[in-house]
Amino acid sequence: MQNPPSQLKIIRPDDWHLHLRDGPAMASVLADTAGRFGRAIVMPNLKPPVTTVLQAEAYRQRILAVLPSGMRFEPLMTLYLTEAMPASEIDAASASEFVHAVKFYPAGATTNSAAGVSNLKNCSATLERMEKLGLPLLVHGEVTDQSVDIFDREAVFIDTVLIPLRRDFPGLKLVLEHITTRQGIDFVASQDAAVGGTLTAHHLLLNRNALFAGGVRPHNFCLPVLKRESHRKHLLAAATSGNPKFFLGTDSAPHAKSTKEAACGCAGCYTAHAGIELYAQAFDSVGAIEKLEGFASFYGADFYGLPRNTDQITLERATWQIPATAHYLPDDPLVPFMAGELITWRLLNR
């Protein structure tokens, strides 16, 4: 058998799903992403949400203003879909050079989603314009019906929302984000080139046992929630399959320690501190490290019709310990994913 490589040089990856927050929190986390990824699709679930091209431009400027000097990074902005969004906003988004997608949060599905969509039928004119202009819809794929078991919400969403959406708008480009189930993988794989899917590192590395390992583990709680091992294996098989419909989206979602370690803790895993290394570990676990470059650096750019990056990063097989905390807010740190644990790949150049 060939020895596994001890170094891996790949074209610089992009992150096709990222939460940067705003203000001092954003300033604390931005370098983790910008040190690894060339570009990132930046989620619009701020308070209040980013619903207009003007707001997206202002948010973009705030991001660039706190980018450490010497770092190159391109934030790819998104708009937050509401039932009140006029189709003319899509014209403006499409004409802009910096808005690349519209995000669909079912109202109440997750963090800052209250202003999201209750009935997608009320967005028909907007979706029609997106279909026409080729602006992708990024989908948080979970129903919010409290009578549906939390572990079934993605599968039910596919049947009750996504399949009808595909039927009504067959040309609409869409990304099923942070896929967590076999049903999600199988849905994306069965569709034409208009449909893609992102996979997070935490859903590739952990199953739902990690939520309760020796006690409640709030830092492993995210939405959609981790699923059982058979689903994780299916996700990892899709990520390492070389199928260009599946690409990297960390869903790195920072929350202050005090809001995670609480009686009602926030959903979200912060993974940007090891945003590419965690994927390397997941791919390596099934002997598929050579599949990382396509997934991390090519297929997302191809889906969005953007040029691939041209510079490279180097990863080295070396063990390091993830710190217990990282700076976030002046009086409240964050706890990174796998805090205190060992990780087996390290980024060499930045």
Which residues, 6 or more positions from 164, have their beta carbon under 8 angstroms from its beta carbon?
A: none
What one-character-per-residue DSSP string does 250-313 give? --B----HHHHSSTTPPP----GGGTTHHHHHHHHTTT-GGGHHIIIIIHHHHHHT-PPP-SEE
Please tell me whether residue 19 binds ligand DOR under the rule CB under 6 A: yes
Q: Dihedral (C-alpha) 219, 12, 90, 21: value to the nearest 10 degrees?
A: 30
Number of residues forming the site for ligand DOR (CB under 6 A) = 10
Q: Which is closer to ligand DOR, CB of 294 or CB of 336?
A: 336
Please tell me whether residue 250 binds ligand DOR under the rule CB under 6 A: no
Please tell me whether residue 267 binds ligand DOR under the rule CB under 6 A: yes
Question: To the nearest whole angstrom, how small is the minimum distance from the Cβ of residue 197 to Zn ion?
Answer: 14
Single out the residue of 19, 37, 38, 39 nearest to residue 29, CA to CA: 19
280 touches 13 (CB < 8 A): no
Q: 112: which 2 tokens?
A: 């800052």
DSSP H or E segment with residue 18: strand 15-18
Q: Which is closer to Zn ion, CB of 131 or CB of 251?
A: 251
Please tell me whether residue 253 binds ligand DOR under the rule CB under 6 A: yes
Please tell me whether residue 309 binds ligand DOR under the rule CB under 6 A: no
Single out the residue of 91, 192, 177 nearest to residue 139, CA to CA: 177
CB-neighbour burial class of residue 349 (10 A; exposed 0-12, middle 13-18, buried 19+): exposed
The entry of ligand DOR, Zn ion, none near residue 129 (CB within 5 to 8 angstroms by kind) is none
> Site for ligand DOR (CB under 6 A): which residue of 222, 322, 326, 335?
222
Please tell me whether residue 199 binds ligand DOR under the rule CB under 6 A: no
Question: To the nearest whole angstrom, how small is the minimum distance from the Cβ of residue 215 to ligand DOR?
Answer: 20
- Residue 311 is a catalytic residue: no
Question: To the nearest whole angstrom, how small is the minimum distance from the Cβ of residue 29 to Zn ion?
Answer: 14
> Site for ligand DOR (CB under 6 A): which residue of 106, 268, 275, 336?
268
Please tell me whether residue 202 binds ligand DOR under the rule CB under 6 A: no
Please tell me whether residue 183 binds ligand DOR under the rule CB under 6 A: no
Q: 278: which 2 tokens?
A: 């965690």
Place of tokens 């450490």: 68
Question: To the nearest whole angstrom, how small is the minimum distance from the Cβ of residue 219 to ligand DOR?
Answer: 11
Beta bridge partners of 321: 342
> Site for ligand DOR (CB under 6 A): which residue of 110, 198, 200, 271?
110
Q: Which is closer to ligand DOR, CB of 196 or CB of 268?
A: 268
The dihedral sign for the CA sequence 68, 69, 75, 79: positive
Q: Enumerate helices (H) and strands (E) in the chain, giving the number of each.
A: 13, 13
> Site for ligand DOR (CB under 6 A): which residue of 28, 33, 45, 78?
45
Helix, strand, coil percentages (3-state) for the chain, rounded to 5, are 35, 20, 45
The entry of Zn ion, ligand DOR, none near residue 268 (CB within 5 to 8 angstroms by kind) is ligand DOR
Residues that bind Zn ion (CB under 5 A): 251
Which residue out of 14, 15, 32, 251 is catalytically annotated? 251
Q: 219: which 2 tokens?
A: 């830092």
Question: To the nearest whole angstrom, how small is the minimum distance from the Cβ of residue 25 to ligand DOR?
Answer: 11
CA separation for the pair 13, 310 (Å, rounded): 10
Question: To the nearest whole angstrom, how small is the minimum distance from the Cβ of residue 119 to ligand DOR?
Answer: 20
For the annotated catalytic residues, the residue numbers are 251
Footprint on this chain of ligand DOR (rule: CB under 6 A):
19, 45, 110-111, 140, 222-223, 253, 267-268
